[in-house]
Amino acid sequence: MSGIGKLAALAIGASLSSAAGAAPAAMDSADALVIHAGAVVAIPGEKSLGPSTVVVRDGRIAEILPGYIERPDARSIDLRDRTLLPGLIDTHVHFSFSPETKLWSAAVDTPEDVALFAFSNAKKTLEAGFTTVRDVGSDGSSIHALRDAVNEGTVVGPRIFLSGTSLSIVGGHGDMSGLNRKTTEALYPYDYTGACTGGVECALRVREAAKYGADLIKVTSTGGIMSQQARGLGQHLTDEELTAIVTTAHSLGLKVAAHAHGGEGVAASVRAGVDSIEHGTYLDEETAKLMAKRGTWLVPTLGLLDARKESDASPAVRAKMAEARRVAGRNIRLAVQYQVKFAFGTDAGVSPHGQNARQFRLMVEQGPMTPMAALRSATVDAAALLGQSDDLGTIEVGKYADLIAVAGDPYRDVTVTEHVSTVIKDGRVIIHDGSASP
């Protein structure tokens, strides 16, 4: 871990003494945690189990037994009036910023500031029941430090898979616009923002991301709604550049997530072979059919516009927001109609952190899809997109003990996920009855 990462981790660790860091290790004297649940959604999309006992050892699920089995020598949690679910997965977050982050923040924030801010956002996300995330676009190395600190057990946070800096055209969404030239060049040089031109340079950016620890590659194939430029939402990177990025990433074993709003950019990204389309605001029928045929995922981020008021935005951004709102929900409706694979992703960072579960109701309302399908998108399907189905997404013996509890039946009312009473990650109790575990 870098010096900055260690310093930030130490600071974060100190802050944990009054928060989730007080949570005890799940493996107390008998090296086991016993959970009595009133119902268990073991495999979202399939029928729930009735009253059950789930036994956790060494951070993984060891047994799933019908009824309530007592283990007097083990620590136990009584969730007989709750439904137990797999930990939720958000495949599109940005921990290094929030809706309140200012355009000029890099002029005042140090890497340590960003790491601590990211930890705060990660903590909110974990306590909301999201035990795994994919961070798809955060500048610098602060998120790398946070990911590594979580993996090493230095701090408590959700499991993080990250892309690091997004790849972009010069001046595109992912590069910086809106500041004067001298400030932009000082704060946001191209090698920092991931901007590239031509297939060779774009391939280089992929290799650099892999060199410095990216788990996947994020590319901004089109303009962005919130970026400070008025060039619309059309295709930015050329077909040649997109193909170079995808080919290079896949040769290194990395998946590619493509931010794409405009229809031409979505279609070009799919043709280039990206693994997922992020947003897909102007997805059309022809491209939806192609995505279904090729197995390309959609991450619809339906709450993207809810957190931003047009009055707070620049004229360029206001125009793009108004345009996108006119077609809101069409992407998920086409995905349902043409059986495109989709995974849950909120764009938290653009929307508030810790309120990720609010998207479930939008998926049900705008799809329309069943609560069961919406829940599956944040568990079974999200784990598949991450390539982590062996460890995540369901409550099965051998998988990580990432578990949450809610009051009520999420198959009947998916909004119960907005109020999580218990969160367990890797067998460790993070919150219980809605507050940090003592």
CATH number at residue 104: 3.20.20.140
pLDDT at 109: 84
- Domain assignment of residue 74, given as a range: 3-87+394-436
pLDDT at residue 20 greater than cutoff 70:
no
In contact, 95 and 51? CB cutoff 8 Å: no
Is there a contact between 226 and 317 (Cβ–Cβ < 8 Å)? Answer: yes
Q: Which of 351, 368, 386 is the last residue of a domain?
A: 386
What value does the mean pLDDT take over residues 327-338? 89
User: Do residues 113 and 214 both lie within one domain?
Assistant: yes
Share of the chain above pLDDT 90, in %: 69
Phi, psi of 271 (to 5 degrees): -60, -35
| Pair 338, 425 in one domain | no
Q: Give the DSSP letter of residue 357.
A: G
Mean pLDDT is highest, among 103-107, 232-236, 357-361, for 357-361
Give me the CATH number covering residue 54: 2.30.40.10
CA 342 to chain centre: 13
Give the number of C-alpha atoms closer than 13 A to the C-alpha of residue 392, restricted to the C-beta side: 27
Distance (Å, rounded) from C-alpha 211 to C-alpha 183?
Answer: 28
Model confidence at 177, pLDDT cuts 50, 70, 90, reads low
Check whether residue 175 and residue 28 sit in a common domain.
no
Does residue 14 have a pLDDT over 70? no
Residues 6+ apart with CB under 8 A from 307: 99, 350, 351, 352
Residue 149 confidence (pLDDT) above 90: yes
Give the end-to-end CA distance of the chain in Å, rounded to a whole number.
30
Q: pLDDT grade, residue 104 (50/70/90)? A: low
Report the mean per-residue pLDDT for the chain: 87
Question: Does 422 lie in the same domain as 305?
Answer: no
pLDDT at 5 over 50: no
Q: What is the mean pLDDT of residues 330-340?
A: 93
Last residue in a domain, options 386, 407, 426 = 386
The verdict on whether omega for the bond into residue 368 sits within 30 degrees of 0, i.e. cis, is yes
The Cα 46–Cα 228 span in angstroms is 44
What pLDDT score was predicted for residue 140?
75
Q: Please give the order of strands across the beta sheet that includes 428-432.
A: 60-66, 52-57, 33-40, 75-86, 403-406, 420-425, 428-432, 435-436
Task: Say what angle helices 3-15 and 142-152 make with each other, to 10 degrees.
Answer: 60
What are the C-alpha distances in Å from 160 to residues 85, 150, 242? Answer: 20, 8, 25
pLDDT in tens, 211-259: 999 999 999 999 877 665 556 678 999 999 999 999 999 999 999 999 9
Task: Give the Cα separation of 255 and 272 in Å (integer).
Answer: 12
Residue 9 has pLDDT above 50, yes or no: no
Same structural domain, 70 and 94 = no
Measured CA distances, 284 to 87, 261, 262, 364 (Å): 32, 11, 10, 20
Least confident of 38-42, 186-190, 252-256, 362-366: 186-190
- Which of 347, 296, 342, 297 is closest to 324 using CA atoms? 347
Where are the alpha helices (H) located in 36-163, listed in sequence order?
Answer: 111-127, 142-152
The pLDDT of residue 173 is 73
Same domain, 212 and 64: no
Interhelix angle 198-211/239-251, rounded to 10 degrees, is 30
Do 16 and 64 belong together in one domain?
yes
Average pLDDT in the 288-296 region?
98
| Main-chain dihedrals φ then ψ at residue 27, nearest 5 degrees | -90, 80
Q: Tell me how far apart the alpha carbons of residues 108 and 131 are, in angstroms, rounded to a whole number.
A: 31
Nearest to 431 by CA among 143, 109, 156: 156
Q: CB neighbours of 108 closer than 8 A, spacing ≥ 6?
A: none
Same domain, 180 and 42: no
Judgement on whether residues 78 and 147 belong to the same structural domain of the protein = no
DSSP-derived secondary structure letter, 22: G
Among 19-23, 275-279, 344-348, 382-386, name the one with the lowest average pLDDT. 19-23
DSSP β-bridge partners for residue 406:
83, 420
Distance, C-alpha 370 to centroid of its chain: 21
407 neighbors 116 (Cβ within 8 angstroms): no
The band of 139, judged by pLDDT with boundaries at 50, 70 and 90, is confident
Residues 70 and 217 in one domain: no
> CB neighbours of 78 closer than 8 A, spacing ≥ 6?
36
Write out pLDDT tens, residues 23-50. Answer: 333 334 358 999 999 999 999 999 999 9
pLDDT higher than 60, residue 2: no
* Residues 78 and 94 grouped into a single domain: no
Asked if the model's pLDDT at residue 365 lies above 80, the reply is yes
Specify which of 194-198, 327-331, 368-372, 388-392 reaches the highest per-range mean pLDDT: 388-392
Query: Looking only at Cα atoms, what is the longest distance across the chain?
Result: 68
pLDDT beyond 50 at 309: yes
**pLDDT average, residue stretch 110-128:** 94
pLDDT over 70, % of the chain? 82
Give tens-digit pLDDT for 65-80.
999 999 988 999 999 9
At 283 the pLDDT is: 95
Positive or negative torsion for Cα 420, 83, 340, 385: positive
Distance from C-alpha of 348 to C-alpha of 98, rounded to nearest angstrom: 7
Q: What are phi and psi of 415, to 5 degrees?
A: -70, -10
Give the tens place of pLDDT for each residue, 84-93: 999 999 999 9
Mean pLDDT (whole number) for 347-362: 94
Please tell me the total count of domains within the chain. Answer: 2
Examine the domain organization and report whether 144 and 14 are in the same domain.
Answer: no
270/163 Cα distance (integer angstroms): 19
- Take residue 169 and report the two structure tokens written for it: 């055209």
Residue 308 has pLDDT above 90, yes or no: no
